[in-house]
Amino acid sequence: MTTVLSLPPVIGHRGAASHAPENSLAGFDKAAALGARWVEFDVMLSADGVPVVHHDHDLARTGGRPERVGELPWAELSRVEVGASFDPAFAGERLPSLEQVVARLGALGLGANVEIKPAPGREAETAHAALAVLAARWPGHLPPPLISSFAPLALAAAAEAAPALPRGYLAERLPEDWAEAVAGFGCASVHLGWKALDAAAAAAVKAAGYLLAVWTVNDPSTALRCRGWGADAIITDVPDRILAAFAEAGSAVP
pLDDT digits (tens, 9 = 90+) for 211-244: 999 999 999 999 999 999 999 999 999 999 999 9
pLDDT in tens, 189-208: 999 999 999 999 999 999 99
Cα–Cα distance for residue pair 220/227, rounded to 1 Å: 10
Domains contained in the chain, number: 1
In 3D space, the residue among 42, 180, 162 whose CA is nearest the CA of residue 114 turns out to be 42
Q: Read off the pLDDT of each residue in 71-86 and give the average, rounded to a whole number.
A: 98
Supply the pLDDT for residue 1.
Answer: 40
The SS3 of residue 82 is coil
Give the residue numbers annotated as catalytic, written as ranges: 13, 55
- Rounded to the nearest 5°, which phi and psi values hold at 156? -65, -40
Concatenating the DSSP letter of every residue in 8-58 gives -SEEEETTTTTTS-TTSHHHHHHHHHTT-SEEEEEEEE-TTS-EEE-SSSB
Please indicate, yes or no, if residue 46 is contained in any of the structural domains: yes
- Which pTM does this prediction carry? 0.97
Mean pLDDT of the chain: 96
Please indicate, yes or no, if residue 3 is contained in any of the structural domains: no
Please indicate, yes or no, if residue 5 is contained in any of the structural domains: no
Q: Read off the pLDDT of each residue in 171-178 and give the average, rounded to a whole number.
A: 96
Q: Read off the pLDDT of each residue in 75-79 and give the average, rounded to a whole number.
A: 98
Please indicate, yes or no, if residue 254 is contained in any of the structural domains: no
Please indicate, yes or no, if residue 4 is contained in any of the structural domains: no
The SS3 of residue 233 is strand
Q: Percentage of residues in the chain with pLDDT exceeding 70?
A: 97
Q: Percentage of residues in the chain with pLDDT exceeding 90?
A: 96
pLDDT in tens, 31-58: 999 999 999 999 999 999 999 999 999 9
Q: Which domain holds residue 77?
A: 10-249
Please indicate, yes or no, if residue 1 is contained in any of the structural domains: no
CB 232 within 8 A of CB 113: no
Please indicate, yes or no, if residue 183 is contained in any of the structural domains: yes
Instruction: CATH number of the domain at 160, please.
Output: 3.20.20.190
pLDDT in tens, 86-137: 999 999 999 999 999 999 999 999 999 999 999 999 999 999 999 999 999 9
- Rounded to the nearest 5°, which phi and psi values hold at 10? -135, 130
pLDDT at 253 over 90: no
Question: In the structure, what pLDDT confidence band is assigned to residue 2 with cuts at 50, 70 and 90?
Answer: low
Supply the pLDDT for residue 73.
Answer: 98
pLDDT in tens, 16-28: 999 999 999 999 9
pLDDT at 254 over 60: no
